[in-house]
Structures are given as structure tokens and as C-alpha cells.
Amino acid sequence: MNSGARRGRGWLAAIVVAALALAAGLYFGQRRVDGDEAQARAALARATWTDDRGRTVSPESLRGKVVVLNFWATWCAPCREEMPAFVRARQALEHEPVEILGLAIDSPAPVSAFAKELGVTYPTVVLGADGIELMRALGNRPGGLPFTVVLDRAGQVRARHLGTLDQAAIERLVREALRTG
């Protein structure tokens, strides 16, 4: 098979995956997701990543802060729609003990360009396909995007949301977590 045909099949596969993620996001969108708390705690306890700034981060290393984990991908249209709200929320919450992390289900090159294009000011981590298993462990069984998890200052899951969030919803979830943990 020539490289053009392989490239074409790769693009076709990417389009199919994007369409499925979009469909799942639309079907399950604007919905809170429940999960097994023990499974979520175990998955978060094992999680360690290197962000786009070269820092090693983990939910454990961020104890004392409310942590917002936003799973997204460059090919996810609802993710593109939602990300500016996270940028604005981060700015509005800059004096609070809050960390927003963008967790990309993607590969490094497109993530960097995409984050720059959208003016993402919060740290991003490239998880690749491994991120799908983490999402599922956190309660997102269908694996749809975008998916957001809010941890309180003690590292406990306080909110899960499958689908897009606007700035007001992000800030409300963070303020609730600030009060409870």
C-alpha cells in the first residue's frame, strides 16, 4: 500500500473517531456523570503527568488546591467551543487556590498548535489514548468529550460533567468545591 493510501486511511480513521466522540458528546452532553469513588481515587492516586511547561503534576501534588481536569481533543468540536470558557474562568479565579489542567486525548504536535491557536493559558498534558481509560475510571463510561472532573482541596471528586461547560458553570463548580473541601 502506498503512503498516500495509508495517509488517507489514517485521516478516515481520525474522522470516524471524531464523529463518534462528537455524537457521544452530543448524546450525553450537559449531563453529570456518576462513578465508582474507590475506582476514581485509585486512578487519581496513580496519575502523574508532565505538562506543557515541563512540570511533573499529579492530583496528589496539587493537594490544597481545587483541581479541574478537563479532558479534550483537537478534533473535538465541542471541546473547541468550551476551551475559551476555561481560559476566562482561570483568569476570573486566578487569586483562588485552583489549578485547571487540560488533559488531551491526542498527540503532542497538534495539541501544542491547538492550545496556542486558542490562547490556552492553563497547563495542558498529552495523555494520548491512555486518557480514555482514565476518563472511564473517573466515571465517563462512554468516553465522550469534553469531560470535566473537579477535585476538592483534599483530592476528592466533587463533580463530573460530560459535555460542554460555560464559564459560569465552571466557576460555580469550582466555588462549590472550594466550600466543601
Confidence at residue 70, expressed as pLDDT on a 0 to 100 scale: 98
At residue 128, φ and ψ (nearest 5 deg) are: 65, -155
Instruction: Give the Cβ contact number of residue 112 at 10 Å.
Output: 17
**Region 3-180: CATH code:** 3.40.30.10
- The predicted pLDDT at position 133 comes to 93
pLDDT, residue 151, reads 96
Question: Phi-psi category of 112—alpha, beta or left, where left has phi over 0 and alpha has psi -120 to 50?
Answer: alpha
In this prediction, residue 10 carries a pLDDT of: 53
User: What pLDDT is attached to residue 7?
Assistant: 54
Q: Parallel, antiparallel, or unpaired for β 157-162 and 31-32?
A: antiparallel
Question: How confident is the model at residue 118, as a pLDDT?
Answer: 92
Position 117 scores a pLDDT of 93
According to the model, what pLDDT value does residue 41 have?
86
Residue 33's pLDDT is: 64
What is residue 28's predicted lDDT score, i.e. its pLDDT?
44
Mean pLDDT (10-residue bins), the chain, 181 residues: 56 50 46 73 90 91 96 96 97 97 94 92 94 94 96 95 98 96 68
